[in-house]
Amino acid sequence: MPSSSDALTPKTLSGFFFDLYDDAPRPLRMLIAARPYVCPYDKLVSFVPQGATVLDFGCGTGTFLAVLAAIGRLRHGTGCDVSPAPLAAARAAAARIGAADRLDFAPIKDVGSAPEGPFDVVAMVDVLHHIPPADRAQAIAAAARRTAPGGVFIYKDMTDRPLWRRFAHSLDDLVFSHELVRQVRQGEVEAWAAQSGLHLEHTEYIPRLVYGHQLRVFRKQ
Ligand SMILES: C[S@@+](CC[C@H](N)C(=O)[O-])C[C@H]1O[C@@H](n2cnc3c(N)ncnc32)[C@H](O)[C@@H]1O
Protein backbone atom coordinates (compact mmCIF):
# COMPACT_ATOMS: atom_id res chain seq x y z
CA MET A 1 0.00 0.00 0.00
CA PRO A 2 1.51 3.39 -0.96
CA SER A 3 2.13 5.70 2.01
CA SER A 4 1.07 8.85 0.15
CA SER A 5 -2.55 9.52 -0.76
CA ASP A 6 -1.33 10.90 -4.14
CA ALA A 7 -0.15 7.41 -5.11
CA LEU A 8 -3.53 5.77 -4.40
CA THR A 9 -5.22 4.54 -7.56
CA PRO A 10 -8.19 2.23 -8.14
CA LYS A 11 -5.66 -0.46 -9.10
CA THR A 12 -3.50 -0.18 -5.94
CA LEU A 13 -6.63 -0.05 -3.76
CA SER A 14 -8.17 -3.04 -5.50
CA GLY A 15 -5.03 -5.13 -4.86
CA PHE A 16 -4.92 -3.94 -1.25
CA PHE A 17 -8.56 -4.98 -0.67
CA PHE A 18 -8.10 -8.32 -2.44
CA ASP A 19 -5.25 -9.23 -0.06
CA LEU A 20 -6.91 -7.72 3.00
CA TYR A 21 -10.27 -9.50 2.76
CA ASP A 22 -8.79 -12.90 1.92
CA ASP A 23 -10.95 -14.81 4.40
CA ALA A 24 -14.22 -13.26 3.15
CA PRO A 25 -16.41 -15.53 0.98
CA ARG A 26 -15.09 -15.41 -2.60
CA PRO A 27 -18.02 -13.43 -4.15
CA LEU A 28 -17.81 -10.79 -1.38
CA ARG A 29 -14.02 -10.60 -1.73
CA MET A 30 -14.34 -10.02 -5.50
CA LEU A 31 -16.99 -7.32 -4.97
CA ILE A 32 -14.81 -5.51 -2.41
CA ALA A 33 -11.78 -5.72 -4.71
CA ALA A 34 -13.82 -4.31 -7.62
CA ARG A 35 -15.25 -1.44 -5.57
CA PRO A 36 -12.34 1.05 -6.00
CA TYR A 37 -12.99 1.04 -9.77
CA VAL A 38 -16.54 2.19 -9.01
CA CYS A 39 -16.22 4.20 -5.80
CA PRO A 40 -13.58 6.97 -5.75
CA TYR A 41 -11.94 6.23 -2.37
CA ASP A 42 -8.70 7.58 -3.89
CA LYS A 43 -10.33 11.03 -4.07
CA LEU A 44 -12.07 10.88 -0.67
CA VAL A 45 -8.89 10.12 1.28
CA SER A 46 -7.34 13.51 0.50
CA PHE A 47 -10.09 15.30 2.49
CA VAL A 48 -9.09 13.56 5.74
CA PRO A 49 -6.43 15.55 7.61
CA GLN A 50 -3.42 13.78 9.11
CA GLY A 51 -4.07 12.47 12.64
CA ALA A 52 -7.86 12.83 12.41
CA THR A 53 -10.51 11.00 14.37
CA VAL A 54 -13.04 9.67 11.88
CA LEU A 55 -16.61 8.37 12.07
CA ASP A 56 -17.63 6.34 9.02
CA PHE A 57 -21.42 6.36 9.02
CA GLY A 58 -22.64 3.20 7.24
CA CYS A 59 -19.13 1.75 7.00
CA GLY A 60 -20.10 -1.66 5.59
CA THR A 61 -16.99 -3.87 5.53
CA GLY A 62 -14.82 -0.98 6.77
CA THR A 63 -12.91 -0.41 3.53
CA PHE A 64 -12.58 3.38 3.81
CA LEU A 65 -11.26 3.23 7.39
CA ALA A 66 -8.89 0.38 6.43
CA VAL A 67 -7.34 2.55 3.71
CA LEU A 68 -6.99 5.52 6.08
CA ALA A 69 -5.39 3.34 8.77
CA ALA A 70 -3.03 1.66 6.27
CA ILE A 71 -1.65 5.00 5.01
CA GLY A 72 -1.26 6.29 8.58
CA ARG A 73 -3.87 9.05 8.29
CA LEU A 74 -5.91 8.17 11.36
CA ARG A 75 -5.60 8.82 15.05
CA HIS A 76 -8.72 6.76 15.56
CA GLY A 77 -11.53 5.48 13.36
CA THR A 78 -15.06 4.39 14.29
CA GLY A 79 -17.31 2.63 11.85
CA CYS A 80 -21.02 2.03 12.41
CA ASP A 81 -23.69 0.32 10.37
CA VAL A 82 -27.29 -0.86 10.77
CA SER A 83 -26.22 -4.16 9.22
CA PRO A 84 -24.04 -6.09 11.69
CA ALA A 85 -22.83 -8.81 9.25
CA PRO A 86 -20.22 -6.76 7.33
CA LEU A 87 -18.76 -5.45 10.60
CA ALA A 88 -17.16 -8.86 11.27
CA ALA A 89 -15.19 -8.53 8.01
CA ALA A 90 -14.31 -4.95 8.99
CA ARG A 91 -12.88 -6.09 12.36
CA ALA A 92 -10.90 -8.92 10.73
CA ALA A 93 -9.42 -6.46 8.20
CA ALA A 94 -8.47 -4.02 11.00
CA ALA A 95 -6.67 -6.82 12.86
CA ARG A 96 -4.86 -7.95 9.70
CA ILE A 97 -3.32 -4.48 9.13
CA GLY A 98 -2.41 -4.19 12.83
CA ALA A 99 -4.94 -1.42 13.43
CA ALA A 100 -7.32 -3.17 15.86
CA ASP A 101 -6.38 -0.62 18.53
CA ARG A 102 -7.18 2.30 16.20
CA LEU A 103 -10.41 1.05 14.63
CA ASP A 104 -13.73 0.26 16.34
CA PHE A 105 -16.89 -0.98 14.66
CA ALA A 106 -20.32 -0.63 16.22
CA PRO A 107 -23.71 -2.01 15.13
CA ILE A 108 -26.41 0.67 15.38
CA LYS A 109 -30.20 0.47 15.13
CA ASP A 110 -30.68 3.81 13.34
CA VAL A 111 -28.80 7.02 12.51
CA GLY A 112 -29.68 8.57 15.88
CA SER A 113 -27.89 5.83 17.79
CA ALA A 114 -24.48 6.26 16.09
CA PRO A 115 -21.49 6.97 18.37
CA GLU A 116 -21.70 10.57 19.56
CA GLY A 117 -18.14 11.88 19.10
CA PRO A 118 -17.57 14.62 18.10
CA PHE A 119 -15.14 13.55 15.38
CA ASP A 120 -12.70 15.58 13.25
CA VAL A 121 -14.19 13.91 10.19
CA VAL A 122 -17.57 12.28 9.59
CA ALA A 123 -17.91 10.34 6.34
CA MET A 124 -21.09 9.07 4.67
CA VAL A 125 -20.22 7.15 1.53
CA ASP A 126 -23.04 5.66 -0.56
CA VAL A 127 -25.34 5.42 2.44
CA LEU A 128 -27.95 8.17 2.11
CA HIS A 129 -29.75 6.60 -0.88
CA HIS A 130 -30.35 3.49 1.29
CA ILE A 131 -32.13 5.61 3.93
CA PRO A 132 -35.86 6.23 3.35
CA PRO A 133 -36.36 9.71 1.80
CA ALA A 134 -38.39 10.92 4.80
CA ASP A 135 -35.44 10.21 7.14
CA ARG A 136 -32.63 11.68 5.04
CA ALA A 137 -32.65 15.23 6.44
CA GLN A 138 -32.45 13.72 9.91
CA ALA A 139 -29.48 11.56 8.85
CA ILE A 140 -27.55 14.59 7.61
CA ALA A 141 -28.40 16.44 10.86
CA ALA A 142 -27.12 13.43 12.85
CA ALA A 143 -23.85 13.48 10.90
CA ALA A 144 -23.50 17.24 11.41
CA ARG A 145 -24.05 16.89 15.19
CA ARG A 146 -21.19 14.39 15.34
CA THR A 147 -18.77 16.63 13.41
CA ALA A 148 -16.49 18.66 15.72
CA PRO A 149 -16.49 22.47 15.34
CA GLY A 150 -14.03 23.19 12.50
CA GLY A 151 -14.26 19.53 11.41
CA VAL A 152 -15.24 18.09 8.06
CA PHE A 153 -18.26 16.15 6.80
CA ILE A 154 -17.49 14.11 3.67
CA TYR A 155 -20.61 13.13 1.74
CA LYS A 156 -20.47 10.95 -1.37
CA ASP A 157 -23.42 9.38 -3.12
CA MET A 158 -24.62 8.41 -6.57
CA THR A 159 -25.80 11.11 -8.93
CA ASP A 160 -29.46 11.14 -9.95
CA ARG A 161 -28.63 12.74 -13.34
CA PRO A 162 -28.42 12.03 -16.19
CA LEU A 163 -31.26 9.55 -16.25
CA TRP A 164 -29.21 6.71 -17.75
CA ARG A 165 -26.75 6.88 -14.84
CA ARG A 166 -29.61 6.99 -12.33
CA PHE A 167 -31.01 3.91 -14.03
CA ALA A 168 -27.58 2.16 -13.78
CA HIS A 169 -27.33 2.96 -10.04
CA SER A 170 -30.86 1.82 -9.33
CA LEU A 171 -30.28 -1.43 -11.24
CA ASP A 172 -27.07 -2.00 -9.23
CA ASP A 173 -29.00 -1.51 -5.97
CA LEU A 174 -31.71 -3.86 -7.12
CA VAL A 175 -29.22 -6.59 -8.06
CA PHE A 176 -26.74 -6.27 -5.17
CA SER A 177 -28.89 -4.91 -2.29
CA HIS A 178 -32.32 -6.16 -3.44
CA GLU A 179 -33.61 -2.65 -2.81
CA LEU A 180 -35.58 -0.35 -5.08
CA VAL A 181 -34.12 2.97 -3.96
CA ARG A 182 -34.91 6.58 -4.76
CA GLN A 183 -31.56 8.25 -5.49
CA VAL A 184 -30.77 11.48 -3.63
CA ARG A 185 -31.93 14.50 -5.63
CA GLN A 186 -29.60 17.29 -6.64
CA GLY A 187 -29.46 20.11 -4.06
CA GLU A 188 -31.13 18.18 -1.22
CA VAL A 189 -27.97 17.47 0.77
CA GLU A 190 -26.66 21.02 0.43
CA ALA A 191 -29.95 22.38 1.84
CA TRP A 192 -30.08 19.93 4.77
CA ALA A 193 -26.39 20.49 5.55
CA ALA A 194 -26.80 24.27 5.59
CA GLN A 195 -29.68 23.90 8.07
CA SER A 196 -27.30 21.91 10.30
CA GLY A 197 -24.53 24.54 10.34
CA LEU A 198 -22.34 22.93 7.67
CA HIS A 199 -20.59 25.18 5.15
CA LEU A 200 -20.00 23.74 1.66
CA GLU A 201 -16.27 23.79 0.78
CA HIS A 202 -15.92 21.41 -2.13
CA THR A 203 -18.21 20.10 -4.87
CA GLU A 204 -17.13 17.50 -7.38
CA TYR A 205 -18.81 15.27 -9.92
CA ILE A 206 -16.83 12.09 -10.57
CA PRO A 207 -17.92 9.80 -13.43
CA ARG A 208 -16.61 6.23 -13.28
CA LEU A 209 -17.72 3.52 -15.72
CA VAL A 210 -21.54 3.75 -15.81
CA TYR A 211 -21.61 5.30 -12.35
CA GLY A 212 -21.64 8.99 -11.48
CA HIS A 213 -20.64 10.27 -8.05
CA GLN A 214 -21.57 13.45 -6.26
CA LEU A 215 -18.92 14.43 -3.71
CA ARG A 216 -19.55 17.25 -1.24
CA VAL A 217 -17.19 18.31 1.51
CA PHE A 218 -18.61 20.53 4.25
CA ARG A 219 -16.98 22.24 7.22
CA LYS A 220 -18.77 22.65 10.55
CA GLN A 221 -19.00 26.30 11.51
C1 LIG B 1 -23.37 0.72 -0.48
S2 LIG B 1 -22.98 0.30 1.17
C3 LIG B 1 -21.62 1.41 1.44
C4 LIG B 1 -20.70 0.92 2.52
C5 LIG B 1 -19.46 1.76 2.72
N6 LIG B 1 -19.81 3.11 3.14
C7 LIG B 1 -18.59 1.78 1.50
O8 LIG B 1 -18.39 2.83 0.92
O9 LIG B 1 -18.11 0.71 1.10
C10 LIG B 1 -24.28 1.07 2.11
C11 LIG B 1 -24.19 0.80 3.58
O12 LIG B 1 -25.10 1.66 4.27
C13 LIG B 1 -25.63 0.93 5.36
N14 LIG B 1 -26.84 1.61 5.85
C15 LIG B 1 -28.07 1.62 5.29
N16 LIG B 1 -28.92 2.35 6.06
C17 LIG B 1 -28.20 2.83 7.11
C18 LIG B 1 -28.51 3.64 8.24
N19 LIG B 1 -29.74 4.10 8.44
N20 LIG B 1 -27.51 3.95 9.11
C21 LIG B 1 -26.26 3.47 8.91
N22 LIG B 1 -25.92 2.68 7.86
C23 LIG B 1 -26.86 2.37 6.97
C24 LIG B 1 -25.85 -0.45 4.78
O25 LIG B 1 -26.00 -1.44 5.77
C26 LIG B 1 -24.57 -0.63 3.96
O27 LIG B 1 -23.53 -1.21 4.70
Neighbouring residues of 9: CB distance < 8 A, sequence distance ≥ 6: 42
Report d(CA 85, CA 184) in Å as an integer.
25
CA of 139, closest atom in ligand 1: 19
Ligand 1, atom 10, residue with closest C-alpha: 127
pLDDT in tens, 131-187: 999 999 999 999 999 999 999 999 999 999 999 999 999 999 999 999 999 999 999
CA of 86, closest atom in ligand 1: 27
> Cα(83) to centroid of ligand 1, in Å?
8
> Cα(80) to centroid of ligand 1, in Å?
9
Does the reported pTM lie above 0.85?
Answer: yes
Instruction: Give residues (CB < 6 A) around ligand 1.
Output: 39, 57-60, 63-64, 81-83, 86, 110-111, 125-127, 130-131
Domains parsed from the chain with CATH numbers: 40-220 (3.40.50.150)
